[in-house]
């Protein structure tokens, strides 16, 4: 119902025609009642002041709306700039952050960011691009931000005073704005949003009473210098028009209940859906695509169904319901089995999701859960279970496999040396697998996973069997192998001479069977080693007896070794030695006695080259050499032992010349050619040992020489000595014996 409170001609068509619409019945809540967005105030019967109301329940809802009938404010949108108002604030004077850097100043601009570096970039309320009134809040209390006087006020009339305001910063310190008319506070303090650039409208009403003029002011009660910055736009003052209307809202409140019946067997179309809704007149089981009069649907397969029921008012009530298959009948069968040859298998089947079962086998009409089979070959068996409702499971398959027959290997025939050990190896596979039993013909039974070994050392060639069996019904198998024992050669050798005199070298030759011999190693008393050779020549050996060891390797690697003890004999040599005398032997008495110093000898053979006799077999003897002849003669002595071993010694025998000296007893150094000098003449001496000294009677040395060929001329210190007798001393050594000899004599110096 429209109830305007001014003459209809004074109010806008929106007020005159204001309506919330017809009463209505709705299917569900909530429902939004819209009162239109072009009025200044809204007041609903529940106290809310929005331009809409959300209805949640059946009831009557009413609202009173108000608008201003015209605007008596001049330049309320500030598009004409700084005109039509007065203020306690100063115009912007500039500063470090822009024109509006200082508190208590204002500026008309299209954006706060153009007036201060810290202000936000916001559009005006009117068009988004026009002017607004921008304020840097004053620290002076009760400062008028904006004032204007309006004349021709109608007494006893309600007026609305409103403006749009916003914060130009993102700041919690917001302005505290207040409306005043004719110095009287109108309404309560209002604040801008703490988030910048959000325009908000603030409105209060005033009754003019007897007044015919109205001085309108907007003041800021916040005196803080931090934050407290704001903008104003679209200031409106004018008489008020009211309108009130109501609407009845009715909500249907029926409930739909769905009941389902699941199919009897999985995968069959035996399900049902039943709908219970007391307000419904028709029903849909395909989410409202088609409707039917029956409230149920039969013969449905499992699935999710969208079910709706519709009332006479056309309200739909929809929901979904799940029709589920019962658990399918299942059957489990024994695990696939592998059996040995000659074995049997038992197959067990167990049904599930039922209270009783029969079993359908593909190889028998017996419907029992257990079957025993002995097919003899690998086979597959199938079974399905049927429960008490006649529901049949999927078919399950049982696979019966056979282990392979036993198989194996044994070592091949082998060749060994006498007394060697042969390791026989047998391997098994197949059947049920290890462990296997290995039964050897040698009497040993061994249980191993795959391989068994048997050590044998037959004295002669022998055949061996092994029988292999497993822990199943597999047929045992037997394998055979032969161990051949190789013959050995007989060590032996020959030598040209088994006994020799030292130093002895032996030549040895094997007499072993060459067809059984690949290599021979030789040791002579562990001192001499020959790694190979059918014949060898030994090192040189001195007196003693020596062992010979032969190690013969056959072509298959057999080794036979034998030592021949004290086989090689080396006799010692006699030691030939002799001496002779006298020493030295001088050429005028050349008879020499020879003394035999030989040892380990029983006979001798002398040879005297240039002597008499020339040969002899005596032990000792005397030999004559040519008289008056000096020289060197070779003497050979051969000493012969009882074993016929011989040692030979050759020595030289030297016949020395006699020592001859001639020293004149006087000479005449008188400047004639006869006997002008004096010297000593000698033979048989070492001339390098010659030393001659001549003394006067007072023992003073007047001449000294070490040269046998130097003569004294009878002078001393360049002067001829006096006539008289002078003494001489001569020191020499024998040429062959190096024996020191000294001679003395006197000289007569004559004029």
- Locate the DSSP E strands across 76-228: 90-91, 105-109, 132-136, 143-150, 158-167, 176-181, 184-191, 200-207, 214-220
For residue 11, what pLDDT is reported?
A: 79
SS3 113: helix
Instruction: Yes or no: say if 147 and 215 are a contact pair by the CB < 8 Å rule.
Output: yes
Work out the burial of residue 400: count CB atoms within 10 Å of its CB; fewer than 13 is exposed, 13-18 middle, 19 or more buried.
buried
- The β-bridge partners of 413 are none
**C-alpha 267, offset from chain centre:** 56
- Please state, in angstroms and rounded to a whole number, the distance separating the CA atoms of residues 165 and 177: 9
pLDDT tens digits for range 232-252: 999 999 998 888 999 999 888
Work out the burial of residue 51: count CB atoms within 10 Å of its CB; fewer than 13 is exposed, 13-18 middle, 19 or more buried.
middle
- Please state, in angstroms and rounded to a whole number, the distance separating the CA atoms of residues 348 and 345: 10
The first and second tokens of residue 460, run together, are 């002669």
Instruction: Yes or no: say if 167 and 241 are a contact pair by the CB < 8 Å rule.
Output: no
For residue 9, what pLDDT is reported?
A: 39
SS3 30: coil
Work out the burial of residue 158: count CB atoms within 10 Å of its CB; fewer than 13 is exposed, 13-18 middle, 19 or more buried.
middle
SS3 96: coil
CA distances from 635 to 100, 443, 566, 573, 652 (A): 150, 85, 39, 20, 6
Give the full edge-to-edge strand order of the sheet including 257-261.
257-261, 271-276, 296-300
For residue 7, what pLDDT is reported?
A: 35
H or E element, residue 326: none
For residue 231, what pLDDT is reported?
A: 96
CA distances from 725 to 9, 668, 694, 750 (A): 201, 12, 11, 9
Instruction: Yes or no: say if 608 and 647 are a contact pair by the CB < 8 Å rule.
Output: no
SS3 41: strand
Query: What are residue 598's phi and psi, to 5 degrees?
Result: -65, 155
B/e letters for 446-456, b = 16+ CB within 10 Å, e = fewer, are: beeeeebebeb
Whether pTM exceeds 0.85: no
For residue 428, what pLDDT is reported?
A: 93
- Please state, in angstroms and rounded to a whole number, the distance separating the CA atoms of residues 157 and 68: 12
- Locate the DSSP E strands across 414-543: 414-416, 422-429, 436-440, 445-448, 451-456, 462-469, 477-485, 493-495, 499-501, 507-510, 519-524, 528-530, 535-537
**Nearest to 608, CA basis, from 640, 562, 673, 652:** 652
Low-confidence ranges of the chain (pLDDT < 50): 1-9
For residue 623, what pLDDT is reported?
A: 93
Instruction: Yes or no: say if 405 and 437 are a contact pair by the CB < 8 Å rule.
Output: no
The number of helices, as runs of H, and strands, as runs of E, in the chain is 1, 61
> What is the residue whose two structure tokens read 């002899």?
616
Query: Residue 120 CB: number of other CB atoms within 10 A?
Result: 18
Query: What are residue 127's phi and psi, to 5 degrees?
Result: -125, -15
Query: Residue 178 CB: number of other CB atoms within 10 A?
Result: 20
Q: What is the DSSP letter of 659?
A: P
């Amino acid at each position: 119902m429209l109830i305007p409170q001014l003459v209809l001609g004074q109010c806008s068509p929106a007020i005159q025609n204001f309506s919330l619409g017809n009463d209505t019945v709705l299917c569900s809540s909530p429902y939004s009642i819209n009162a239109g967005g072009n009025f200044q105030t809204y007041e609903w019967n529940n106290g809310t002041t929005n331009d809409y109301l959300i209805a949640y329940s059946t009831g009557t809802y009413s609202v009173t709306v108000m608008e201003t009938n015209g605007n008596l404010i001049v330049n309320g949108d500030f598009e004409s700039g700084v005109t039509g108002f007065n203020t306690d604030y100063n115009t912007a004077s500039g500063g470090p952050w822009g024109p509006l850097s200082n508190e208590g100043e204002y500026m008309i601009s299209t954006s706060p960011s153009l007036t201060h570096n810290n202000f936000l970039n916001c559009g005006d309320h009117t068009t988004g691009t026009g002017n607004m009134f921008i304020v840097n809040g004053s620290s002076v209390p009760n400062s008028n931000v904006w004032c204007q006087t309006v004349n021709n006020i109608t007494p006893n009339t309600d007026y609305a005073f409103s403006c749009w305001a916003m914060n130009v910063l993102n700041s919690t310190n917001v302005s505290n704005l207040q409306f005043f008319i004719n110095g009287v506070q109108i309404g309560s303090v209002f604040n801008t949003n703490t988030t910048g650039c959000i325009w908000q409208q603030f409105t209060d009403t005033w009754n003019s009473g007897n007044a015919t003029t109205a001085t309108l002011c907007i003041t800021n009660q916040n005196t803080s210098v931090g934050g407290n910055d704001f903008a104003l736009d679209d200031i409106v003052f004018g008489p008020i028009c009211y309108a009130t209307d109501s609407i009845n809202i009715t909500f249907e409140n029926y409930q739909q209940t769905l009941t389902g019946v699941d199919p009897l067997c999985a995968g069959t179309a035996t399900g049902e859906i039943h709908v219970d809704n007391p307000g419904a007149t028709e029903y849909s089981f395909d989410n409202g695509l088609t409707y039917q009069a029956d409230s149920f649907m039969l013969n449905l397969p499992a699935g999710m169904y969208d079910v709706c029921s519709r009332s006479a008012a056309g309200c739909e009530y929809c929901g979904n319901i799940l029709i589920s298959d019962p658990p399918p009948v299942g059957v489990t069968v024994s695990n696939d089995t592998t059996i040995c040859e000659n074995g049997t298998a038992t197959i067990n089947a167990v049904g599930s999701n039922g209270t009783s079962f029969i079993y359908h086998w593909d190889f028998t009409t017996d419907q029992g859960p257990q079957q025993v089979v002995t097919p003899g070959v690998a086979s597959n068996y199938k079974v399905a279970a049927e429960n008490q409702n006649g529901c049949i499971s999927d078919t399950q398959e049982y696979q019966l496999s056979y282990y392979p027959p036993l198989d194996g290997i044994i070592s091949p025939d082998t060749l060994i040396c006498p007394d060697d050990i042969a390791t026989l190896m047998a391997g098994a596979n197949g059947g049920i697998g290890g462990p296997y039993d290995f039964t050897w013909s040698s009497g040993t039974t061994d249980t191993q996973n795959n391989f068994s070994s048997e050590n044998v050392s037959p004295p002669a060639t022998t055949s061996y069997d092994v029988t292999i069996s497993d822990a199943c019904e597999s047929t045992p198998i037997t394998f055979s192998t032969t161990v051949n024992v190789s013959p050995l050669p007989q060590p032996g050798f020959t030598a040209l001479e088994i006994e020799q005199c030292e130093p002895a070298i032996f030549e040895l030759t094997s007499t072993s069977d060459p067809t059984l011999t690949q290599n021979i190693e030789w040791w002579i008393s562990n001192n001499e080693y020959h790694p190979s050779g059918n014949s060898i020549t030994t090192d040189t050996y001195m007196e003693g007896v020596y062992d010979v060891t032969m190690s013969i390797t056959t072509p298959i690697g057999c080794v036979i070794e034998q030592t021949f003890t004290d086989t090689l004999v080396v006799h010692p040599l006699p030691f030939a030695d002799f001496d002779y005398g006298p020493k030295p032997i001088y050429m005028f008495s050349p008879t020499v006695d020879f003394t035999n110093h030989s040892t380990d000898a029983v006979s001798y053979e002398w040879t005297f080259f240039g002597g008499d006799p020339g040969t002899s077999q005596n032990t000792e003897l005397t030999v004559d050499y040519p008289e008056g002849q000096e020289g060197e003669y070779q003497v050979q002595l051969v000493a012969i032992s009882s074993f016929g071993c011989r040692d030979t010694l050759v020595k030289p025998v030297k016949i020395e010349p006699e020592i001859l000296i001639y020293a004149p007893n006087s000479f005449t150094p008188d400047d004639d050619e006869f006997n002008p000098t004096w010297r000593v003449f000698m033979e048989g001496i070492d001339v390098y040992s010659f030393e001659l000294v001549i003394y006067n009677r007072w023992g003073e040395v007047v001449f000294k020489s070490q040269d046998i060929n130097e003569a004294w001329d009878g002078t001393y210190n360049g002067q001829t000595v006096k006539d008289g007798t002078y003494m001489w001393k001569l020191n020499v050594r024998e040429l062959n014996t190096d024996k020191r000899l000294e001679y003395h004599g006197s000289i007569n110096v004559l004029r």
